[in-house]
Structure 1
Amino acid sequence: MEDPFDDLEEDGTDTVFRDVIMLALIGFVAMVIMLLPHISREKQETKDSNAPGNVIVEMHWPSEMENDVDLWVKAPGEGAVGFWNQGGEVFNLLRDDLGAIGDATDENYEVSYSRGIPSGEYVVNVHMYGAPPKDRPIPVKVVVSVKKPLEETRQILETTVELRRYNQEETAFRFRLSSEGDLVEDSVNTLRYPLITGR
């Protein structure tokens, strides 16, 4: 004759086993959820520390203006880097924007990055390659940032230069950086230093 309590004992054991498994699963899921923000933050910090350059020079002009403006940069001891010399030992021009020609976006933007931060004088020029509009000047915003190893990118300079005529080249900045990558006090000026149109 079968004992009617055998089934109850088996069901009780199954229930306890399922409860233990379910609690372990819930605990694992809770740990993963708590760790997710930390994993994402580590990825973001790694991405920023692997930024493509140390001295970043950006140039923007209004998206509705279909004109070709060029960014030219010069690092200490290096020749000028721009649209027809896009790479040097220190700087590389990553984007040569022709205005409306062959552009997938409306943004008018050029950028140069350096490898390392050599100490000495840097020159940043803007050049009106094509003909400017007849009714108004082109306002060109120039931004210089520095990214030291293991630090966040930090903007150090910003200005706006107006271009009014064909082949106009203006010096947006001349500045010096120390061997530690710091902006040398009182070194910033806009004294003319042509890089492509002659002195």
Structure 2
Amino acid sequence: MSLRHRRRAREQEVDPFYDMLFNMLIAFVFCFLIALLVMNPKALKAGDIPSKAEYVITVSWPDLNPNDLDTWVQDPGGKLVWFRNREAGLMHLDRDDRGMSNDVITVNGRQVVNPLNQEVVTLRGIAPGEYTVNLQYYETRNGQPVDATVSVLKVNPRAEVVFYGSLKLMRPGDEVTAVRFTLLPDGSVAHINNLPKTLVERL
């Protein structure tokens, strides 16, 4: 066989391998472009809320405590976030924790318990004015008082604890003002206090 024929035969043997590599490259580029389109923030539907937060308000009570506390937050415009109204203005209640009521799930016939009792409200923008954070002792399973902690964390551009405090709710129906604070136009906080202000009874 001549050198020319040997070369042509070798090219024919190699061609399918290069074809496969080329097809794989095309598939990779196509998948990459699809991923970019999916992650493009402009592709978000109207009304979707981006998962951005300026402040995070966290209410916690002891692990495995069966009692139900509720978080109420009022913004400067008078709008309220609570378990029946989880979005209002720039505020969002991420989870309504009901003590042990919604902390037990069954997986493969076995019960799995989440011991954590915690509610989180995020402020997803800066609306200047006063915010009020109240706790309500909604329901009891053991008739005991409940100790709770409340924190306000500024998360943008870096984490900074603005407020941390503890309180005790004695009996179902009790409502306590945990903290009131004022957001300034530049996103900083002023006038932190816990002067009582009723939110639950105003509805």
TM-score under structure 1 length normalisation: 0.68
Counterparts of 2:140 and 2:168, CA distance in 1: 14
Runs of 4+ in 1 over 4 A off after TM superposition: none
SS at match of 2:88: coil
Determine the structure 2 residue equivalent to 1:175: 181
SS at match of 1:197: helix
SS at match of 2:122: strand
Does residue 85 (structure 1) correspond to residue 85 (structure 2)? The answer is yes
Match of 2:151 among 132, 143, 150: 143
Structure whose alpha-carbon radius of gyration is higher: 1
Match of 1:195 among 188, 195, 199: 199
1:28-87 deviation digits (Å, cap 9, x = unpaired):
xxxxxxxxxxxxxxxxxxxxxx96311210000001310010111112114110101110
5+ residue gaps, structure 1 = 1-49
Counterparts of 2:193 and 2:85, CA distance in 1: 25
Determine the structure 1 residue equivalent to 2:159: 153
Q: 1:198 Cα deviation (Å)? A: 3.9
TM-score under structure 2 length normalisation: 0.67
The structure whose residues are more often strand, as a share, is 2
SS at match of 1:76: coil
Change (3 A) 1:157 1:69: same
Which residue type is aligned with residue 139 of structure 2?
Answer: G
Which residue type is aligned with residue 158 of structure 1?
Answer: Y
5+ residue gaps, structure 2 = 1-49, 105-113
Q: How many residues were matched structurally?
A: 145
Using the aligned pairs only, state the percent identity.
31
Counterparts of 2:124 and 2:78, CA distance in 1: 12
Change (3 A) 1:52 1:103: farther
Which residue type is aligned with residue 148 of structure 2?
Answer: V
